[in-house]
Structure 1
Amino acid sequence: MKQSNKEPGPDDRWMARAVRYLRDWSGRHGRTVHDQVLRGVSYGVGSGAVSLLVLWYETRR
């Protein structure tokens, strides 16, 4: 039988620290993690589109 008052394991403490850090970060910067992920994805898509345009242009020259 599992004990409910057992100390959290190292994985649980690591996860709790990560969650607390992300919440503190979002409070300091006024953004949420989801906003940052969307921003990163949009930059990645834009960068990929520019790369494709450059490759297309270079093959046509």
Structure 2
Amino acid sequence: VKTMGFLGLFIGPVLMALLVAIWREWLREVELADELAPAAPAELEAAPPPQIEIVAEKKSQAG
């Protein structure tokens, strides 16, 4: 209590809880990204490549 004071007794646990919450959220995002990463190439391989259609331009005369 002498080094941090009474304010430190309240700020310390709040700061620690905040850091733990940020850490857990970061880990959850990493796990979700790992689950989605293997699924993406399989979806790309299953779908046929997009077809590009070439259309001739129609010339119009303004009169």
Give the TM-score band, short-chain normalised.
Answer: 0.5 to 0.7
Percentage of identical aligned residues: 6
**Normalised by the size of structure 1, how large is the TM-score?**
0.54
Structure 2 residue runs of 5 or longer lacking an equivalent are: 38-63
Task: Report the number of matched residues.
Answer: 36
Q: Corresponding residue for 1:38?
A: 14
After superposition, the CA RMSD in angstroms is: 1.2
Unaligned runs of 5+ in 1: 1-22
TM-score of the two chains, using structure 2 as the length reference:
0.53
Larger Rg: 2
The aligned amino acid for 1:26 is: M
Task: Determine which structure has the larger helix proportion and give its number.
Answer: 1
Q: Which amino acid aligns with 1:46?
A: I
